[in-house]
Amino acid sequence: GATRRFYHEKVIDHYENPRNMGSLDKNDPTVGTGLVGAPACGDVMRLQIKVDDSGNITDVKFKTFGCGSAIASSSYITERVRGMSLDDAMKIKNTEIAKELCLPPVKLHCSMLAEDAIKSAIKDFRKKRGGEVFQGEGAK
C-alpha cells in the first residue's frame, strides 16, 4: 500500500510476521511472567522470559491483545532481549522501540506497554528466585 514506502521493510515485517507469539509455563522456576495493561486504550500484553543460570534470557514469548503497534512492539522486544542479561533488558526504553518501529506519537503508549511488560517479567522472575544473585549481576 501507499503507507509502505514510509516504513522500513524490517518494521513491516514485525507487523505482518510477529515473532515469538505464544506462552511459556508460568510455573517453571526459570520463567518470569509480565502482564501489563495500557490505561489509555485498555490493551493488554503478556510477556514471558526464560532465564538461564547466568541470568541471561534464553527464550521469550508474548501474547498481546491490542493494536498492531502493540503487537509489533512485542515482537520487536522479544527479538531484542533474547540472549541479553536481565540487567541490560531492564534498561530498554520504549522510545528506542518506537524509533525502531517508526511509531507516530499517538502510538507511543503501545511501545510503553512492551517496556512495562519486560520489566514486569524480570521483576516476576527475580521475585520467584527470592533475590538470588546471578553471575554478572550486582557489579554496578
Using CB under 6 A as the binding rule, whether residue 113 contacts ligand FES is answered as yes
| DSSP structure string for 53-72 | TTSBEEEEEEEEES-HHHHH
Question: Based on CB atoms, which residue is closest to ligand FES, 56 or 74?
Answer: 74
3-class secondary-structure state, position 7? coil
86 with 126: CB under 8 angstroms? yes
Using CB under 6 A as the binding rule, whether residue 36 contacts ligand FES is answered as no
Using CB under 6 A as the binding rule, whether residue 43 contacts ligand FES is answered as yes
Cβ neighbours of residue 3 under 8 Å, at least 6 residues apart? none
The CB-of-41 to ligand FES minimum distance in angstroms stands at 3
Question: Based on CB atoms, which residue is closest to ligand FES, 74 or 85?
Answer: 74
41 labelled catalytic: yes
Taking CB under 6 A as the binding criterion, the range among 17-25, 29-37, 39-47, 121-129 that sits at the site for ligand FES is 39-47
70 with 46: CB under 8 angstroms? no
Using CB under 6 A as the binding rule, whether residue 66 contacts ligand FES is answered as yes
**Which is it for strands 57-65 and 31-37: parallel, antiparallel or unpaired?**
unpaired
Alpha-carbon span 47 to 85, nearest angstrom: 16
Using CB under 6 A as the binding rule, whether residue 47 contacts ligand FES is answered as no
Using CB under 6 A as the binding rule, whether residue 111 contacts ligand FES is answered as no
Which grid cell sits at 97?
A: 522501540
Which residues of this chain interact with ligand FES, rule CB under 6 A? 38, 40-41, 43, 66-67, 69-70, 107, 109-110, 113
